Amino acid sequence: MNQGSVCVFCGSASGLDPDFMRLASDVGSLLARLGLRTVYGGSRDGCMGAVADGAIKGGGKVLGVLPDLFLPWEIAHKGLTELRIVPGMAERKAELMRESDLFLVLPGGLGTLDELFEVLTFNALGHMNKPVIIFDAKDYFAELLVWLEKASAFGFTKPTSEHFGVVKSLQALESFLST
């Protein structure tokens, strides 16, 4: 992927393990180094902010998409290449999907899972055909990956290998993105 936009889904919280914040920053730096534009949810907080900060420090371009309902909390990242304000969460996801060529999922909470499943569903229904990579740092997604395999084994979805890939290291992610 020599050029393009990578949407990163991850937590707006920092989490309890500082390794997740370091990972988020390193992912942003990697995307910048590879010349890929980072697309994400627009917050300055948590892992989301760390991804943006890493990309910005690496000289990369960063697009944030923030629902206007968050404006009173002043969580918008001020150092982005571009910040788009949209009317709500559904519009945010639609804009993130429109602006991205690939989706990368880092550890996060319910919003991260919501975004992951919407992208997987759009791909499965043929509304788009864009790669999805789950970064399973510290086996964060291990149980979810087991459940997804079970859903496939029971015939509720196609084999998971048709829906997404999994990486467990920055080196594996870089290798995937460099092809």
In the predicted structure, residue 139 carries a pLDDT above the cut 60? yes
In the predicted structure, residue 1 carries a pLDDT above the cut 60? no
d(C-alpha 38, C-alpha 55), whole Å: 7
Strand pairing partners for 105? 9, 134
Domain that holds residue 12: 5-177
Give percent above pLDDT 90 in the chain. Answer: 91
> For position 3, what pLDDT does the model report?
59
| Average pLDDT, rounded, for the chain | 95
> For position 162, what pLDDT does the model report?
78
d(C-alpha 116, C-alpha 55), whole Å: 21
> For position 160, what pLDDT does the model report?
75
Residues 7 and 31 sit within 8 Å (Cβ to Cβ): no
Residues 1 and 101 sit within 8 Å (Cβ to Cβ): yes
d(C-alpha 13, C-alpha 53), whole Å: 15
User: Helix, strand, or coil here: 127?
Assistant: coil
In the predicted structure, residue 163 carries a pLDDT above the cut 90? no
Q: How many CA atoms lie within 13 A of 112 on its CB side?
A: 21
CATH number at residue 168: 3.40.50.450
d(C-alpha 43, C-alpha 160), whole Å: 30
Q: What is the pTM of this model?
A: 0.95
How confident is the model over 68-102, as pLDDT tens digits?
Answer: 999 888 899 999 999 999 999 999 999 999 999 99
In the predicted structure, residue 33 carries a pLDDT above the cut 50? yes
Count: domains in the chain: 1
Residues 151 and 119 sit within 8 Å (Cβ to Cβ): no
